């Protein structure tokens, strides 16, 4: 089994990265092949909404922008399950996460889309501040899973106050996604 985690934080040593790493550690303990992608190291532009809002994404399930998006997308598509760990900024996903997810969503719609349908997806929202923005961030993550047809296997909220015990929960979730082969 292959598991990919995407760290959508600009900080490779912060709370969000720690969560992504914990998930992969659990999955690896259960025998999975794992890969961590730091979006900060990738060049992923925002969607340009080509041609009246839909370019090749709708017709061909590809994006015309020449950046790292297709490489990251291929990693996600090749995985049996994937994890998006995003910091919570202003009650929403990070800008890095939004750029990736907006383009994933558009390339997954249309006659040639659907590659993400029924793919197991774990979302981790990490709030380093007050934690009050977790609810609206969760709503955005659930909508994105729904738009792409991914199976939201888990939605885990972490704050700076609960991180000590939540890291164990995240690691257990990583093991479980491999050992239980989560089904609907």
Sign of CA dihedral 137, 141, 144, 115: positive
Q: List the domains of the chain with CATH numbers.
A: 2-177 (3.40.50.360)
pLDDT band with cut points at 50, 70 and 90 for residue 60? confident
Return the number of other C-beta atoms located less than 10 Å from residue 6's C-beta. Answer: 24
Among 55-59, 64-68, 97-101, 148-152, the minimum mean pLDDT is found in 55-59
Give pTM, 2 decimals.
Answer: 0.93
- Looking at the DSSP assignment, which residues form a beta bridge with residue 33? 2
Phi first, then psi, for residue 7 (nearest 5°) are: -90, 110
Residue 111: the pLDDT is 58
Task: Give mean pLDDT, residues 62-79.
Answer: 94
CA dihedral angle for residue 19, residue 144, residue 30, residue 72, rounded to 10 degrees: -80
Helix (H, G, I), strand (E, B) or coil at 98: helix
Give the whole-number percent of the chain exceeding pLDDT 70. 96
User: How do 151-159 and 81-87 pair as beta strands?
Assistant: unpaired
3-state secondary structure 121-154: EEEEEEECCCCCCHHHHHHHHHHHHHHHCCEEEE
């Amino acid at each position: 089994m292959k598991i990919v985690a995407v760290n959508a934080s600009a900080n490779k040593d912060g709370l969000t990265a720690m969560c992504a790493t914990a998930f992969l550690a659990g999955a690896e303990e259960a025998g999975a092949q794992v890969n961590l992608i730091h979006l900060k190291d990738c060049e992923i532009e925002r969607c340009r909404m080509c041609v009246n809002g839909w370019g090749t994404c709708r017709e061909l399930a590809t994006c015309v922008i020449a950046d790292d998006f297709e490489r990251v997308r291929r990693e996600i598509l090749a995985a049996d399950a994937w994890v998006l760990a995003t910091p919570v900024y202003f009650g929403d996903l990070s800008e890095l996460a939004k750029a990736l997810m907006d383009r994933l969503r558009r390339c997954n719609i249309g006659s040639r889309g659907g590659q993400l349908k029924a793919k197991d997806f774990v979302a981790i929202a990490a709030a380093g501040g007050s934690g009050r923005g977790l609810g609206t961030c969760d709503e955005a993550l659930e909508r994105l899973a729904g738009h792409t047809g991914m199976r939201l296997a888990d939605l885990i909220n972490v704050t700076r106050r609960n991180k000590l015990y939540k890291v164990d929960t995240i690691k257990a979730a990583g093991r479980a996604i491999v050992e239980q082969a989560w089904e609907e």
